[in-house]
Structure 1
Amino acid sequence: MALERLFLRLAALAVATVTVLVLPARAQGEGGWELCNRTSFIIEAAVGHSEGTGFSVDGWTKLPPGTCETALPGLLTPGIHYLYGRASTAHQGGGREWGGRHELCVDPTGGFSLESPPDCAAMGLEPQGFRPINITSEKWTNNFTEIENWTLDNARNSGLQRLLDEAGVVSGNIDGHIGLRTRAAINDFLKLKGLASDTSDADLIDYLEQAAEERSRTVGFTLCNRTKNRVWSAIARRATEGWESRGWWRIEAGGCARVVDRPLRGSEHFVYAEMEEPTGLRTLSRASEAFCVGRAKFAISGRDNCEDSSYRTALFARTPAPTERKLVFEFFERDFTDAGANDE
């Protein structure tokens, strides 16, 4: 079931990112693999490629909105390469990924260069789904894009608009056009931080990313895995129009996932988790609240008649009430049933 969920999750990701694509385009001049960010998100990219008789994975190449960077310098060897991107943790709305079904190891905590890693978990790494890219020339460019066909300038402006909202400076449309109201808010932000009025947009994006990350730490819902195994997790809570459940978040041993990055509403929140072991799956032992879950990534409104909608019913555990609109919930080995007790 765990392998099936992994396949379905990655398949769902491919469907979910129909409006956020990685589009290949050839480039001229010296060799190298160039990545361009035509989205409103700060993207961190990793690439996989053949290296001699082995294989290397390198990351992270940081791509502020509206910029291009060389992720792999030198003349490229034509053939299949691999690409994965993730949004900066400063962005709200849950983690955004650009990838595919080919799993490679990455270091989620910082820059890395890995040569043919045989076992992600044994090396303190985590697997991520990369997208294969068929490179046919010694120089190649890939564009990260959203549904809007933005130029690099529009992408930079849209990124500024998004970060201004997430940093709590000013809210407005993310349309790629900086108006007088937004420019005035930027000037106020620069004065507040003691920055020069002629601060470049590139530096401004860095300052706003830091401000957005600092703001996000004070609110939201975080799940942490304190077991020695991978955990698949989901949450349930009362939304504006009634009950909802969401999942799946894959959390490696010792890792955490930020599942809600805005101030929490209300006091009732619930969690569900399945821990993978060689002998089977283990679910939470003290769980009694029924909600719907899907086999792939899901967001479900309501909690009744799950099977009628091709979902299944799972028992969630109630969390403690949030404190100051923030909640951190930790999964421990003792919280799970015996292996095999919940096999389907």
Structure 2
Amino acid sequence: MARDHLSSSWKRAWLALPAAIVSLFSSAPAFADLKICNRMSYVVEAAIGIDEKAATATRGWFRIDPAACRVVVQGTLTADRILLNARALGVYGASPLPQSGSDTLCVAPGNFVIAAARECRSGQTPVPFTQVTPTQTDDGNMVAYLAEDSEYDDEQARLAGIQRLLLIAGYDAAPIDGVDGPKTQGALASFLKSHNLPADVVQSPNFFATMIDAVQSPSATGLTWCNDTPHKVMAAVATDDGKSVVSRGWYRVDPGKCLHPDIAGQPKQVYSFAEAVDADNRTIKLKDKPLSWGGTKELCTRESKFETNEQGDCTSRGFAATGFAAVEMANGGKTLRFAVP
């Protein structure tokens, strides 16, 4: 996890920029920090970019829970623009956050600092960044907010975040609205009991990490994907309710982790496809064959986030015909483990 305060490497990166970068806003006091606050129902990872006419630097990733804030720059900086990229954790499937922006800058896996972020090198990936305008708080710090259309306040964002993870873990806390009630409390109580957790853990600052660990463990109910490879795995799921087949992806399953794709209702048949990819999201090949896990049922997918209930003539609609494997959900649950042959 990225640290709150400036590391020595981060300081060196800023020293490489023009000397004009001294403070974020000339009117801000010298002690001001830049914070990112999360009012979404997702645990997110954020990266920031500082753009000055002659150079652009990026830093990340900052993990931010719902209703929490992270200091991303300590002390003030003057710059032409501040840029932001945010993504939901892989546990949520294809990122629900809009991946758009007018600037394409480089990021890297894990903790990173990139001083010249407009020309990517090996191991770095170009992603869109959006310009943000932080607001100044009463204590003199600068804050930028991540928000959803629902416009949650902090309390609502935290509860909606718990509801969302309960649903992913297989507990019925719908709808995700940030409003407390008997249904949410019942689902939460069942979750705590099944994982032998005390009631007061809900107020712990690490509760979202606890929930995510539970979601990324094998489950006796529903479909579970577990990644036993050293590679990132991107997976897609499809369900047949007897009337239509809906395919949906992509879900990121990190090495050594498990993930439960959201499957609504009681479908008659479930299908699965997954493939291992490298840092640039290119399919990994072993002996010239893709490292993938699928079958003979051809369904529609595409490279970016997708969901479709039309499975005919995939190519003409901008999709690819991909071979999915039928999943036998014995006793209500099935764990598929992805491993290197």
TM superposition score normalised by structure 2: 0.62
Q: 2:206 is matched with which residue: 203, 223, 228? A: 203
Contact 1:37 1:64 in 2 (8 A): yes
Are 1:298 and 2:303 an aligned pair? no
Contact 1:238 1:268 in 2 (8 A): yes
Bigger shift: 151-160 or 267-276?
Answer: 267-276
Following superposition, the deviation at residue 40 of structure 1 comes to 1.1
CA distance, structure 2, for counterparts of residue 311 and residue 145 of structure 1? 33
Q: Which residue of 2 aligns with 1:65?
A: 66
Following superposition, the deviation at residue 300 of structure 1 comes to 2.3
CA distance, structure 1, for counterparts of residue 99 and residue 50 of structure 2? 15
Partner letter of residue 126 of structure 1?
T
Are 1:176 and 2:178 an aligned pair? yes
Change (3 A) 1:331 1:48: farther
Change (3 A) 1:85 1:291: same
Contact 2:90 2:251 in 1 (8 A): no
What is the CA deviation profile of residues 49-69 of structure 1, one whole-angstrom value per residue up to 9, with x for unaligned ones?
A: 148964322112222111222
Q: Which residue of 1 aligns with 2:4?
A: none
Following superposition, the deviation at residue 39 of structure 1 comes to 1.2
What is the CA deviation profile of residues 190-219 of structure 1, one whole-angstrom value per residue up to 9, with x for unaligned ones?
A: 565353637625333332232222257994
Contact 1:36 1:66 in 2 (8 A): yes
Partner letter of residue 125 of structure 2?
E
CA distance, structure 2, for counterparts of residue 210 and residue 273 of structure 1? 22
Say which SS state the counterpart of residue 164 (structure 2) adopts: helix
Q: Which residue of 2 aligns with 1:42?
A: 43
Following superposition, the deviation at residue 47 of structure 1 comes to 0.7
Partner letter of residue 157 of structure 1?
L
Change (3 A) 1:312 1:49: closer
Q: Which residue of 1 aligns with 2:78?
A: 77
What is the CA deviation profile of residues 280-305 of structure 1, one whole-angstrom value per residue up to 9, with x for unaligned ones?
A: xx998x99876556686432222235
Change (3 A) 1:216 1:198: closer
Q: Which residue of 1 aligns with 2:22?
A: none
Q: Which residue of 2 aligns with 1:163?
A: 165
CA distance, structure 2, for counterparts of residue 293 and residue 168 of structure 1? 25
Question: How many aligned positions are there?
Answer: 292
CA distance, structure 1, for counterparts of residue 203 and residue 183 of structure 2? 18
Following superposition, the deviation at residue 157 of structure 1 comes to 1.8
Percent identical pairs in the alignment equals 24
CA distance, structure 2, for counterparts of residue 126 and residue 176 of structure 1? 34
Partner letter of residue 161 of structure 1?
Q
Following superposition, the deviation at residue 130 of structure 1 comes to 1.9
Q: Which residue of 1 aligns with 2:322?
A: 316
Q: Which residue of 1 aligns with 2:132?
A: 133
- Which structure exhibits the higher relative contact order, with contacts defined as CA atoms closer than 8 Å and separated by 6 or more residues? 1
In the alignment, structure 1 segments of 5+ residues that lack a partner are: 1-26, 333-344
CA distance, structure 2, for counterparts of residue 260 and residue 185 of structure 1? 17
Partner letter of residue 106 of structure 1?
V
CA distance, structure 1, for counterparts of residue 190 and residue 304 of structure 2? 44
Contact 1:271 1:316 in 2 (8 A): no
Change (3 A) 1:172 1:294: closer
1:251-270 alignment, distance < 5 Å: 261-262=261-262, 266=269, 268-269=271-272
Say which SS state the counterpart of residue 214 (structure 1) adopts: coil
RMSD: 5.0
